[in-house]
Structure 1
Amino acid sequence: MIELQGPAQAQDPAMRQSAKRHQILVCQTCRHKDSPCFPGLALLEKLRLAVSEAKGLGEDFEISGTACMAGCDRPCTVAWRATGKATWLFGDIDPDADIDALVDFATLYQRLDDGWCRAADRPGKLATSTLARIPAALIVTAEGQLQ
């Protein structure tokens, strides 16, 4: 097995992926009621492109499709998470109309130390389409220490 070091290590795709600090999850199973249309797939591709083109975001965000996030009554659902930050879940996202607001929220979330913000700080319909805000986890070790 070859061990990568220095510049070669930075070129390894697996290493680049794990170096990203923030993650955006897009539900791939979201669909319109009584329709075979899966708008989550379109949203995933549009969001990947928009974030990759936004200055300073593409290098710091991993954008992944995921299984159902239980927002079925309010498709499409999108979540933001990062170590040490609150996790956000939004619903009622339109793949065509809300891309700019999603990118703007990514920029905001990247700058927030703890991930917390007010509704008035969130762009577009993200101010009113919050399904959940989950505080960052505090993990207690067997020795009783917080991590």
Structure 2
Amino acid sequence: MTRNTSHRITVCTSCRHKGEDCRPGYELIAKLRRAISEAGDSIPEDFEISGTACLAGCDRVCTVAYHATRKASYLFGDIQSDDDIDALVDFAKQYAYLHDGWCSSIDRPRRLRKSTLARIPATIMALEESLERVS
């Protein structure tokens, strides 16, 4: 089977718990990479896992986004590295099979249902030629 790397998980690396200096995003990236790797073929698509400076979920540390070509994107907040790693892997398994990325909150892993910050529809740009002349 040819594996595709159009699926991505992006973790905020600047988020920090209020009143603390720790930045849990870096630790989450390492744990998530390990967990996805250990899941092996139970995830039918490769997921590139990387960090970014900010996902604008500062009040809901730690923030994680799932996105793919021609699929809805998801933004989750309040992710606890140790508690939520299994739910993040389970969502990767589910997301890989969703042809358009769309699922309702009750279909997502239980630990992610209330931490969903956004579901962003896929953007597909279509340009049409106008048959009318602009005067």
State TM-score, norm by structure 2. Answer: 0.88
Contact 1:98-1:124 at 8 Å conserved across structures:
no
Instruction: Determine helix, strand or coil for the equivalent of 1:137.
Output: coil
The superposition leaves residues 34-86 of structure 1 with CA deviations (integer Å, 9 ceiling, x where unpaired) of 21011111111100110011122386110011111010000000000001100
Q: Which amino acid aligns with 1:82?
A: A
- Cα gap change, 1:133 to 1:59, in 2 (>3 Å): closer
Q: Percent of aligned pairs with the same residue?
A: 61
Gaps of 5+ in 2: 131-135
CA shift at 1:118, angstroms?
A: 1.1
After TM superposition, the runs of 4+ consecutive aligned structure 1 residues lying more than 2 A away are 55-59, 140-144
Contact 2:75-2:116 at 8 Å conserved across structures:
yes
Structure 2 counterparts to residues 1-147 of structure 1, below 5 A: 19-56=4-41, 57=43, 60-141=46-127, 143=129
Q: Which amino acid aligns with 2:17?
A: H
Contact 1:51-1:58 at 8 Å conserved across structures:
no
Structure 2 Cα separation of the partners of residues 139 and 118 of structure 1: 24
RMSD: 1.9
Query: Which residue does 2:133 correspond to in 1?
Result: none
Contact 1:52-1:58 at 8 Å conserved across structures:
no
> What is the number of residues matched between the two proteins?
128
Between 1:53-62 and 1:19-28, the stretch displaced more is: 53-62
Q: Which amino acid aligns with 1:106?
A: A
Structure 2 Cα separation of the partners of residues 114 and 104 of structure 1: 17
CA shift at 1:128, angstroms?
A: 1.1
